[in-house]
Structure 1
Amino acid sequence: MLRPRIIPCLLIQDSGLVKTVRFKDPKYVGDPINAVKIFNEKEADELIVVDIDATVNGREPNYKQIAHLAAECRMPLCYGGGIRTPEQAKRIIASGVEKVAISAAALEEPQLITRIAEEIGRQSVVVVLDHKKRLLSKQHDVWTHNGTRNTKRNVLDVAAEVEKHGAGEIVINSIDNDGRMKGYDIDLAMELRKAVSIPVTILGGGGSLEHMGEVISVCGVVGVAAGSFFVFKGPYRAVLISYPSAAQKDTLILSALKLH
């Protein structure tokens, strides 16, 4: 039986673990490998790791670091950052990663999604859509390159398009809510769930288990991801890696699904 997934999302910059607020002001958190070890012990459902500078700097994925992460990780691992070809995706999957995440390259060339899916399987292709609400409008535009380039395209339209081209999963990430820990964009999550038939993961704004439960209660079986919630503690954002216990997670999911 499929169950909602609770997913830590880790950002890498200059080989270190960082966390941003609204895609700006990255704060150093620590060593990504140490974080993976802790999430192993806490039996996280899945892990998303994104190199936030690879695409912006036109750099290839850091294959050595990816291999180290994959070797250490005992849960399904999704890696994104700098992937622009099927060959790069195949190399990352061969290192032990379960899924690859693409964003800017997929929007520039939608056929790339199809080509990668043909090489590694549709279930291993994740498209990440970073979005921001347009001023004085209900529309959420998709942005790329760490939120510096606006495609001026509606995130729901783009989601339907990438599904058509072979994406196996979609992650929507709210730039407005990133790092603020004040809750997810529930309305958009509901709209996305209705717009596509493939698995979706909601990211951006998670600050409590209650926030995650709200998403599950309205969307059902989805992935709910967060960054700050899993690496910071308290109002002063002290670094502390955490993850709900199995009992906490089961209680959250069962309660939320009863409301769905």
Structure 2
Amino acid sequence: MLAKRIIPCLDVDNGRVKKGVNFVNLTDVGDPVEIARAYEQQGADELVFLDITATNQHRHPITETVEAVSRQVFMPLTVGGGINTLDDIQALLRAGADKVSINSASVKNPDLISQAAQRFGNQCVVVAIDVKTDPQSGQKLVYTHGGQQATNLEAIAWAKEVVQRGAGELLVTSMDHDGTKQGFDVDFYRQLTAAVEVPVIASGGAGKVEDFAQVFLQSKVTGALAASVFHFGELNIKEVKDYVRSQGVVMR
């Protein structure tokens, strides 16, 4: 059994960490280097760093900020946002990323997944999937461009496809739960992790320590990601890990 991971996420816009609810109403939280350093001291297992406006602004990923963070922290760093080419991936890996997270570009050009896996190895290719429930059909559909553009892709079918193409890990965000602090979408993650063999990080909805234990105990996710509860000091990573361990979950 893979030991479970607690993973804070930095949503970065113009070099500052931002956080919103359901992907909108962003609030400035602080400097990414300072926040990353604090999370490492609290015992975070990994850090996810997402440039949340790069795709919509048609920018390349901000490698300078990645370099600044990677010089200060030594936990694994996954970076996403604005990745469209193998050159973008190479630039981020050179800047200090351990893994890259591909979202919109994987939908636009699914071959990028297999090309990246072939060149850089499956272990550093993370496909991020933003999921929202369609009010008409009740299906979980995939969204791109920072959650702003709907697709007709069904989430679990898409997850299976990207794994087949070479994704070594999935970072799956429930847009319905994002920022609500009402808990993870456990039923969905249970179905998803039964359908794919690669590690899955659950994202969206963490509000209390019990939420982390619940998603680990009731699904096969290997990581649980949160942002606002850590950014605003409502939860401390160490206390989350201590509680989850107390519930019998093997932690890193």
Question: What's the TM-score once normalised by structure 2's chain length?
Answer: 0.94
Q: Which amino acid aligns with 1:32?
A: P
Q: Which amino acid aligns with 1:28?
A: D
Is residue 100–residue 125 contact of structure 2 (8 Å, CA) maintained in 1? Answer: yes
Q: Which amino acid aligns with 2:46?
A: E
1:107 maps to 107
Give the CA RMSD over aligned residues. 1.6
- State the 1:96 CA deviation: 1.9
- Distance in 1 separating the partners of 2:188 and 2:64: 37
Is residue 231–residue 242 contact of structure 1 (8 Å, CA) maintained in 2? Answer: no
- Distance in 2 separating the partners of 1:125 and 1:188: 23
- State the 1:250 CA deviation: 4.4
Is residue 147–residue 175 contact of structure 2 (8 Å, CA) maintained in 1? Answer: yes
- State the 1:152 CA deviation: 1.7
Equivalent position SS for 1:213: helix
1:37 maps to 37
Equivalent position SS for 2:247: helix
Equivalent position SS for 1:75: coil
- Distance in 1 separating the partners of 2:44 and 2:77: 11
1:56 maps to 56
- Distance in 2 separating the partners of 1:157 and 1:66: 32
Listed as ranges, the gaps of 5+ residues in structure 1 are 235-240
1:243 maps to 237
- State the 1:254 CA deviation: 5.3
- Distance in 1 separating the partners of 2:97 and 2:90: 10
* 1:9-31, Cα deviation, whole Å (9 max, x unpaired): 11001110110100000000011
Equivalent position SS for 1:244: helix
Q: Which one of 241, 247, 250 corresponds to residue 255 of structure 1?
A: 247
Is residue 12–residue 51 contact of structure 1 (8 Å, CA) maintained in 2? Answer: yes
1:140 maps to 140
- Distance in 2 separating the partners of 1:67 and 1:233: 26
Describe how 1:43-122 pairs up with structure 2 within 5 A.
43-122=43-122
- State the 1:3 CA deviation: 0.4
Is residue 202–residue 221 contact of structure 2 (8 Å, CA) maintained in 1? Answer: no
* 1:169-200, Cα deviation, whole Å (9 max, x unpaired): 00110111111111010110001101100010
- Distance in 1 separating the partners of 2:245 and 2:136: 35
Describe how 1:75-224 pairs up with structure 2 within 5 A.
75-220=75-220, 222-224=222-224
Q: Which amino acid aligns with 1:94?
A: R
Is residue 77–residue 99 contact of structure 1 (8 Å, CA) maintained in 2? Answer: yes
- State the 1:220 CA deviation: 3.7
Fraction of identical pairs, as percent: 35
Show structure 1 runs of 4+ deviating over 3 A.
Answer: none
Query: Structure 1 residues 34 and 216 mapped into 2: Cα distance closer, same or farther (>3 Å)?
Result: same
Q: Which moved more, 1:50-59 or 1:133-142?
A: 133-142
- Distance in 2 separating the partners of 1:82 and 1:170: 17
The number of residue pairs the alignment matches comes to: 250
- Distance in 2 separating the partners of 1:256 and 1:201: 19
Equivalent position SS for 1:17: strand
* 1:109-146, Cα deviation, whole Å (9 max, x unpaired): 11100111112110000000001001043311100112
- Distance in 1 separating the partners of 2:172 and 2:245: 20
- Distance in 2 separating the partners of 1:73 and 1:102: 22
- Distance in 2 separating the partners of 1:242 and 1:73: 18
